[in-house]
Amino acid sequence: MRMSRYILVGILFGMTLYKAEAVSWFRIYEMFKFQSFHMYGIILSAIVLGILVVQTIKRRHMHAVDGQEIKINDKDKHWPRYIIGGFIFGLGWALAGVCPGPMFILMGSGYTVFIVFLLAAMTGTFVYGALRSKLPH
């Protein structure tokens, strides 16, 4: 089935973050305490390589498997939503030690309590969706 390729990508993602200990609450704590290069190495090497990949795709007008040119949408540049939303996200990231990817990964590793975390995250997203028009963006 064509859709199964996305499951394989997800498996690779899950294995990578688990084996690199990026799913560890203690690694996230270490990062915010600036006590190791490990997490910064992961993020920075990904950004540097990612820039090279994206620039190459753009310059050569590369095409996706469906034949369409790969286009990367520009994000809105108004800063308040990024700073305020990012700050709120950061509070949760440091507190729980997981961002959305690791949450799914840990659920599979046997920490089934993350089902509750997922429901709480969906509730958070729902509340944002309901309040959206009243929040500064």
Partner 1 sequence: MVPDFLIQIKDFISQPWPWYVAGPMIVVIMSILLFFGKEFGLSANFRTMCAADGAGDMADFFRFDWQSQGWNLLVALGAVFGGYLAANYFASPDGNVAHVSEATVNSLHSLGFNFEDGKVPLVPEFYDWNALFTWRGLLIIVGGGFLVGFGARYAGGCTSGHAISGMSALQLGSLYAVIGFFAGGLFMTYVLFPLIFH
Residues 32-51 that bind partner 1 (CB under 8 A): 32-33, 35-47, 49-51
Binding to partner 1 by residue 60, rule CB under 8 A?
A: no
Contact code string over 3-32 relative to partner 1, x by CB under 8 A: xxxxxxxxxxxxxxxxxxxxxxxxxxxxxx
Q: Name the residue nearer to partner 1 (CB basis): 59 or 72.
A: 72
Q: What's the min distance (Å) between Cβ of 8 and partner 1?
A: 6
Cβ within 8 Å of residue 136, ≥6 positions away: 80, 81, 84
Measured distance CA(86)–CA(80) in Å, rounded = 9
Beta bridge partners of 69: 63
